[in-house]
Structure formats: structure tokens, C-alpha cells
Structure 1
Amino acid sequence: MIRFENVTKRYPDGTTAVDDLSFEVAEGELVTLVGPSGCGKTTTMKMVNRLIEPTSGQIFLDGEDIASVDPVELRRRIGYVIQQVGLFPHKTVLDNTGTVPHLLGWSKAKRRERAAELLDLVGLDPAVFGDRYPDQLSGGQRQRVGVARALAADPPVLLMDEPFGAVDPVVREHLQTEFLKLQSSLHKTVLFVTHDIEEAVRLGDRIAVYGEGRVEQFDPPTKVLGAPATPYVADFVGADRGLKRLSVTPIETADLEAPPVVHLDDRLSEATARMRAEGAHWAVVLDDADDLHGWVSAEPADPADAEADATVTVRDRARRMEAWLPLGAPLKQAFSTMLQHDAGWIAVVDAASEGRFLGVLTPTRLHEALRRSIDADERDVPRADVSLETVPEK
């Protein structure tokens, strides 16, 4: 969708902002450009919509050389989101969102309908926020309006320059999560500039790590973290890159353990006898549809009562499960959930079937999953093909 061929930007004073840049962004791909201030990443982005003209080389958009396209027409085909948002202070949120459709000559009714649809898409109720002005919004809300405005004319390409950099860390993480959900349904081709390697890792399908005016590595996040191409990249991503990999390493079925499983209507005495026979201190509790309900201890609250009364069932003693995640969730979220609930394991369910239990993830298995991910990238093989050498338990 976007292709750079030997692109250089050199200013009259001799400063080279970008030097012989060549890479391609596939249709529907989100590529993050990351690097220190002054490395050329924003210049790269601004050359795509011709806010900056390259000194040499060519940039293609969907196979068309952008140098042959009128700049104004080009910009109306590309969504653009910046850190300062740039909303018009004298216009309502609804009118701000419909700016580009207005420039394209859409009718008032059509552009307001489109604006309302997009505000709802980014989590802002148009009935509540549509008639407000930018100064009546929080920073995070203004960023959402900026994203909605960029999407208003349904452009195939989005350029995003530090879009979440001006909000606090909590809001920033929330905006990142919401944007990933949005991108999963819209599949826009996105160039996303950031100076934050964690943001680049979390959002990007691939990452372009910039040195001074050139790309040092252009790879998926796991490869950048697991196999830095140069000492510069290794230094930039940091010595804790193994921890950063937790954000981009998903929970897979092979990472899970299969604990004892009981059902809500099982007799408690039989369930506890089964757990003890297997040497287990607890079991996962499922309902009749094999969906996750909770867990039960091998030691009932009142052992004498449980042994004496055959009517006591697992349902009477089961505890609801709070520490659970869907398959495919990142290991970082799994680790965070364990800490949040002070849990020695978390349950993993199949999100597609709305709760079907698949297994549990323990700290040991989480660590092994991370090691397999690193080894897989170093050897360029699927994660499932990696076997680990471990110290045998005594």
C-alpha cells in the first residue's frame, strides 16, 4: 500500500533527515516508526502526505507515485492524527469530526450521520458529546475525536504522529487498547510514529527502528526484541527486552496445564476423593456446558458435613473464578492478572465460545512460553517446534 524507494530528504543547510530509505507497508498493516527525537521518523511520515517533499527517491501509495498527485487531493485520501489533535476550537465535536466530508462536498445530513457513527465507534456517545466544544473535553476525549475525524472519509491510510503522547499513562494505555480494537475491525494501513518502544511493540505488526535518518531494523516486534539486528537496536530496545516481549507473546494452547476438572453438580465427597487420588489440592469447576465457573478446594469447608451428607455438591462449595483470560491474550496481561489476584495460576478460556475452559497457565508455564518465544525467533522456527532443556526436579 505504501512503498518507499531510495527516499532521501536533505535540507539546504546540508542536514540529512532521511537517507536512502526503502521499505514497504502492506495493505491493512500497522507499522510503528520508533526512534529518538530527530531521527527522521516524523519526516518520513510527512513525506507520505507531501507536507514535506523528498529530495530524491519515490513514494508510492497503492502503486501510484504520489509526486504525480495534487497534494490537496492526496491529503483528503489520507487520515492524519497528531499529538496536539488540532481540533477547531469554534466548532462542535460533531462538526470537527465531519471536517473532511465537508471539504469533499458531502451534504450536511450525510456528514453529520457519518460523524455520529464514528464518534460512537470511538466510544463517545454523539448524543452526549456531539454538541460540545473541544475545550469541554478531556485530553483523552479530544484524542478520540481526532481519530474519528481522521476516519471520517474512510481513508485507506492513516498517518499517526505521537497521537497518544499528550495524555497521562493510564489514559494512554486505554487509548492504545481501544485503537487496537478499532484497527482489528477496520484494517487500515497505518504509519504510527512514537518515541516509546513499549508503545511501538504493543501496537505494531512490524516496527521500523530508526537510527540517524535510516532504519536500523524493520521486523515484527518479537524479532526486534528477540534478535536485535545491530548493537544500536539492542541498546535502544533496552536490556529488559525480555520483559517487553511479554506484551507481544500470546498465550497458546501448548502453554497450558490440564488440572483436575469437576462439575457443579458432582457430589463433593466424590470430587474431593478424586482430587486427593490425583494429589491435587484444588480442581477447576465447570458448568454443564463445560464453561468455566470457578474452582474448589480438595479440603471442604466442613469435612465432616461433606462426608455425612450425600446431598452436598461441588456447587455448594465452589468459588467463583476471577483470575482468567482468553486464549491469545498477551503474557504481560497474564502476569498482571496473577499479581492482581495474588493467584498461583490463571484459567484460560476460548473467547470464541464465550467461556469454554481450555486449561490453566502457571508462572512456570508462563516463563517457559517466554523462553520458547525467544528461542523461536532466534532460530526462525514456529514456537511450537521449540523444546526446552530444564533442570529435572528432585
Structure 2
Amino acid sequence: MIRFDSVTKRYPDGTTAVDGLSFEVGEGELVTLVGPSGCGKTTTMMMVNRLIDPTHGRIYVDGADIAGVDPVTLRRGIGYVIQQTGLFPHRTVLDNTATVPVLTGWKKAKARARAAELLDLVGLDPAVYGPRYPEQLSGGQRQRVGVARALAADPPVLLMDEPFGAVDPVVRDRLQKEFLRLQADLHKTVLLVTHDIEEAIRLGDRIAVYGAGRIEQYDTPASVLGAPATPYVAEFVGTDRALKQLSVTGIDRGDLERPPFVRLGEPAADARARLRTEGARWAVVLDEDGALHGWVATEELTGGDGTVAGHARRMEAWVPVTGTLKAAFSEMLKHDAGWIAVLDGHRFLGVLTPTKLHEALRRTIGSDEQGVPRERAEVDSVPTE
């Protein structure tokens, strides 16, 4: 969808902002440009909508050389979100959001209807927030309006320059989650500039790590963290890159353990006898459909006519199988748990232990370093006793 072909930007004073950039962004891909201030990442993004023109080289959007496209026409077909949102202070939120559709010739009623849909999509009730003015919104709400406005004309390409940088960390986390949800539904082609490697890792399908005017590495977050291409990249992503990799490493079903389990309706005495025979001190409690209910200690199962249901404890420490090792580790810490249940919907798959989590992370790092699939990575076992 976006292709840079040997693109250089050099200013009259001799300053070279970017030098010989060649890379591609696939349709529906979210690429983060990350690096220190002055490295050329914002210049790169601004050349895509011709706010800056390159000195040499070509940039193509959907196969067309943008040098031959009228800049105004080009910009109306590309969404643009900046850190301070750039909302018009004397226009309502609804009219701000409808700006681009109106400029491209939409009827006002249609443009406002589209604006209302987008406000709802980003979590702002148009009946409540539509009549308000930007000064009546919080920083996070203004950023949401900025995203809605950029999406209003349904552009295939979205440019985002530090879009979440002007809000506090809690709001920033929420906005990042919301944007990932939107991107999963909309599949826009996105270039997002950030100086924050954590944000780049969390949001990007691929990351372009910038040095001075050039890309040092262009790869997936897992590969950038697991196998930095240069000492500069290794230093930039940080010495704690193994911890950062938790956030981009998914849970593998092969790493799950299957502990003893009992059913809710099973007689307590029978369950206790079976677990003691197996030498189990506790068991997972499932319902008849295999959904997780909780857990129970073997010694808490008493005789009589009671069932396991009368002794089971609810299980709060769990994650979906689609989650990451970071999410699993966070839940372990939150609940001070020695293991965490992994679910597919409501169905119980197994548990992830700290040992298995560590092995999974080491295997992922090993696969990146060795250039082989994760399941074929060779790592030395760490004795646990």
C-alpha cells in the first residue's frame, strides 16, 4: 500500500533528514516508526501526504507515485492524527469530525451522520459529546475525536504522529487498547510515529527502528526484541528487552500443563479418594461442559452426600489462550498465584506455571536468535531442583 523507493530529504542548509529510505507497508498493516528526536521518523511520515516533498526518490501509495497527485486531493484521501489533535476550537465535536467528508463534497446531513457513527465507534456518545466544543473535553476525549475525524471519510491510509503522547499514562493505555480494537475491525494501513519503544512494540505489526536519518532495523516486534540487527538497536530497545518480549509472545498450548481435575457434580468423597490416590493436593474444578469453575484442596473435600460444588473456590487468576505471556505474568502477580488457568472461551485448556512461562520466553528468544520456528528452537534446560 505504501512504498518508499530510495527516498532522501535534504534541506538547503545541507541537513539530511532521511537518507535513502526503501521499505514497504502492506495493506492493512500497522507500522510504527520509532527512534530518538531528530532521527527523521516524522519527516518520513509527512512525506507520505506531501506536507514535505522528498529531494530524491519516489513514494507510492496504492501503486501511484504521489509526486503526480494533487497534494490537496492526496491529503483528503489520507487520515492524519497528531498529538494535539488540531481540532477547530469554535466548531462542535460533531462538526469537527465531519470536516473531511464535507470538504470532499458530502451533503452536510450525510457527513454529520457519518461523524456520529465514528464518535460512537471511538466510545463517545454522539448525543452527549457531539454538541460540545473541544475545550469541554478531556485530553483523552480530544484524542478520540481526532481519531474519529481522521477516519470520517474512510481513508485507506492513516498517518499518526505521536497520537497518544499528550495524555497521562492511564489514559494512554486505554487509548492504545481502544485503537487496537478499532484496527482489528477496520484494517487500515497505518504509519504511526512514536519515540516510545513500549508503544511501538505494543501497537506495531512491524517496527522501523530509526538511527540518524535511516532505518537500522525493520521487522516484527518479536524479532526486533529477540534478535536486534545492530548494537544500536540492542541499546535502543533496552537491556530489559527480554521482559518487553513478554508483551509480544503469545501463549502456546504446548506450554500448558494439565493438573488433576474434578467435576462440580462429583461426590466429594469420591473426588477426595481419587485425588489422594493420585497424590494430588489440589484439583481444578470444571463443570459438565468443561468450563472452569474454580479449584479445591484435596483435604477440603469431606465425606457424606455432598458434591464438589459445596467445597470449590472460585478461580480469579485466568487468561484467554489468545493472550500474551505478559498478561499471564501480570495475572500471576496480581493474584499472587503459583499458576494461572488458560481458557478458550469458557473451556479450560490447562495451566501455565512460572517455570513453563520462563521456558516459553527463552524458547521465543532462542527462535529469533537462531532464525528458526519457535517449536524448533534449542535452549538449555534450567534445573528446578
Task: Give TM-score scaled by structure 1 length.
Answer: 0.96
Contact 1:282–1:297 (Cα < 8 Å) also in 2:
yes
1:289 paired to 2:283: no
The match for 2:218 is 218
> Shift in Å at residue 389 of structure 1?
2.8
Alignment of structure 1 residues 77-92 onto 2, 5 Å: 77-92=77-92
Alignment of structure 1 residues 206-355 onto 2, 5 Å: 206-300=206-300, 306-307=302-303, 309=304, 311-350=305-344, 354-355=345-346
* Mapped partners of 1:49, 1:293: distance in 2: 53
Q: What is the identity percentage for the equivalent residue pairs of Structure 1 and Structure 2?
A: 74
CA offsets, 1:204-239, max 9 Å, x none? 111000000000000101110111101110110011
> Shift in Å at residue 276 of structure 1?
2.3
* Mapped partners of 1:87, 1:281: distance in 2: 61
* Mapped partners of 1:393, 1:25: distance in 2: 44
CA offsets, 1:122-180, max 9 Å, x none? 11111221111111111111111111111001000000000000011111111111111
1:361 paired to 2:382: no
Query: What secondary structure does 1:339 align onto?
Result: helix
One-letter identity of the residue aligned with 1:88: F
* Mapped partners of 1:98, 1:124: distance in 2: 15
Contact 1:4–1:60 (Cα < 8 Å) also in 2:
yes
> Shift in Å at residue 333 of structure 1?
1.1
> Shift in Å at residue 391 of structure 1?
4.0
Greater alpha carbon shift after TM alignment, 312-321 vs 152-161: 312-321
Contact 2:370–2:377 (Cα < 8 Å) also in 1:
no
* Mapped partners of 2:19, 2:207: distance in 1: 18
Structure 2, unmatched stretches of 5+, are none
* Mapped partners of 2:23, 2:16: distance in 1: 18
The match for 1:61 is 61
Query: What secondary structure does 1:216 align onto?
Result: strand
Among candidates 369, 373, 384, match of residue 375 of structure 2: 384
Q: Per the alignment, do residues 278 and 386 of structure 1 end up closer, same or farther by CA in structure 2, a change over 3 Å counting?
A: farther
The total of aligned residue pairs comes to: 385
Query: What secondary structure does 1:299 align onto?
Result: helix
RMSD, aligned CA: 1.1
> Shift in Å at residue 84 of structure 1?
0.6
Structure 1, unmatched stretches of 5+, are none
CA offsets, 1:228-287, max 9 Å, x none? 101110110011000000110011101211111111101112222222222222211111
> Shift in Å at residue 387 of structure 1?
4.7
Task: Give TM-score scaled by structure 2 length.
Answer: 0.98
> Shift in Å at residue 392 of structure 1?
4.5
One-letter identity of the residue aligned with 2:39: C
